[in-house]
Structure 1
């Protein structure tokens, strides 16, 4: 499945279910290769070191189900500016999503797009992926490399 407005809307719907519209918060949604959408939110915790990114729950659920992730989007409500932002995946979530390869699509902010966001692949957002240094041909490592 390709990242589209339906996936962004699923993330926003999860955001709205979890936090009132006047509170800041975030949520994520991912597409699986069978078209299923999984959503999640990050943990709020007094100790920021134990908090999790919004995508983590959905990523873990996909892995638990042994399903391939094809697209991921993270949204954040900025109540002071009264808008919902699409956030690019942080480096840790890029690493988590790398399990499914360089063609996983992710949402990124784009002020020039009508929607305020656009789609990139992991390869686009991380063209110098460190894991490629450990393959014989310099290619993005396949899922089997993540298990060794």
Structure 2
């Protein structure tokens, strides 16, 4: 189960449902190991430190369902031109995704054409993952992350 246009479209559809066309807004979609797609949006809040990334809700739901995330994508609509761009996972979301291993695919913008996207594994996006030091150079297992 990989990152594909259907996953990107699910995130865009969620963003369109949640945010009026004249507002900036984003959403995320994740694919689970059983093929299901979960979507989520971030919380807006006056106090910036309590806001959440777009992906957080879907990650928590996957974890609640005891399912493995195999792919994740985050989109953002630019209010100036209305087009959607792919946002790579921030460092915090990379850490959240690490629970499901280095092979999780994430969407990143194509450096040659930012209107297009590419799928990369978490290990490709984060080749110097800090936790390798504490797991004898191997990606920490789900069990290690959860303990």
Q: For each residue in 1:49-91, what CA deviation from the matched residue of structure 2 results, as whole angstroms up to 9, or x when unmatched?
A: 0000000000000000000000000000001132111000000
TM-score, normalised by the number of residues in structure 1 = 0.96
Corresponding residue of 2:144: 145
Corresponding residue of 1:18: 18
SS at match of 2:89: coil
Tell me, yes or no, if structure 1 residue 31 matches structure 2 residue 37: no
CA distance in 2, matches of 1:44, 1:135: 36
Q: Which structure 1 residue ranges, 4+ long, deviate > 4 Å from structure 2?
A: none
CA distance in 2, matches of 1:140, 1:81: 40
CA distance in 2, matches of 1:127, 1:146: 18
Q: For each residue in 1:28-64, what CA deviation from the matched residue of structure 2 results, as whole angstroms up to 9, or x when unmatched?
A: 0000011000000000000010000000000000000
SS at match of 2:10: helix
CA-atom RMSD in angstroms: 1.2
SS at match of 2:140: coil
In the TM superposition, 1:77-92 aligns within 5 A as 77-92=77-92
How far apart are 1:22 and its partner, in Å?
1.5
- CA gap 1:113/1:5 in 2 versus in 1, 3 angstroms: farther
After alignment, is 76-85 or 95-104 more displaced?
76-85
- CA gap 1:135/1:114 in 2 versus in 1, 3 angstroms: closer
How far apart are 1:115 and its partner, in Å?
5.6
TM-score, normalised by the number of residues in structure 2 = 0.96
